[in-house]
Amino acid sequence: MNAIHIDDAGQAAGFHELVKSVSITHLLQQRAAVTDRLRQAFSLLREAHEIASCAHLGFPDFIVSKDYRGHGEDVASSQIAADAALATARAAIDAAAWRYLMQESGMRSLMSATKRAEFDQHIDKNQMPELTREAVYSTFGALHDSRAEMFDQGVIECFKKLSWRYKTNLPQKFGKRLILTYLSYSYGINHRASDHLDDLMRVFHVLDGKPEADHRHGCYAQLAVAFREQPIWPKAFENPYFSIRLFRNGNGHVSFKRFDLVDTLNHIIARHFPNALPEPR
């Protein structure tokens, strides 16, 4: 895992193991500076609005909203509206900071797709705590303590998404190969099915001690290139961890290349499913 810069010795057990060279003191100082300047700007807008009103002049609406869907607040209309606008602005500032810290920590790579979606939803709905030193230490301390469990959950979630329709797909473990149904259509690649492959890639990267691949170079993008540039079926694609053959019926035959990593995955699965059912007949 990456290392973090700790500003206060002895605080936030585990926190220094998660975030790469981020000074929380500096981050919070910058946050305070941005918030203070916004407060001053809103105050100047209210002052300008009052002058314009007394002089019977027009004045534009300055609406602050976290995103384009919100109704927002006119920061110049009243103190109450300005306070609400500042709260909205602060939420937007904190949302970006939480995303940045999560990305720098490497914790997103350990999260299952479900946990990532939950985290993003908490941010979008303003359900994350206000960005304070205590909140950061508490959040990342808890993540540090649960990182192994969280990674196991990602492995199990990825495993459960695989089809059990074919003999190469074993319901009690990963085998040498697996077959994904509906990986492609006549016109291109199935985004949802390729996301399952990206989940598997993320797990392999973590086990291999390598950073997660950029989503712009994920399986969907790579498969889409193979689909476009290879006119003859089956179409082929491979990376350091597995190779894929795409067939006209939409199936993708995935052959693993790193059996040491596959064995590690199977040990994780066996811990959680010690009495796994045999493969369906």
Render 237-280 in DSSP notation, one character per residue.
EE-SSEEEEE-TTS-EEEEES-HHHHHHHHHHHHHH-TTPPPPP
Higher-scoring residue by pLDDT: 2, 172: 172
Question: Per-domain residue ranges for the chain?
Answer: 15-145, 151-272
Lowest mean pLDDT among 77-81, 253-257, 261-265: 77-81
- Spell out where the chain has E strands: 63-64, 73-74, 177-180, 235-238, 242-246, 252-256
Residue percentage of the chain with pLDDT more than 70: 83
pLDDT of residue 36: 96
Question: Is the confidence at residue 156, as pLDDT, over 90?
Answer: no
Residue 10 confidence (pLDDT): 38
Report how far apart, in Å, the C-alpha atoms of 219 and of each of 112, 235, 245, 281 are. 17, 14, 13, 31
Q: How much is the mean pLDDT over the chain?
A: 83
Specify the range with the lowest mean pLDDT, choosing from 35-39, 131-135, 275-279.
275-279
How far is residue 182's CA from residue 135's CA, in Å, rounded to a whole number? 43
Q: Is the pLDDT of residue 32 over 60?
A: yes
pTM over 0.75: no
What one-letter code names the amino acid at 93?
Answer: I
Write out pLDDT tens, residues 66-111: 654 445 677 877 888 888 888 889 999 999 999 999 888 878 878 8
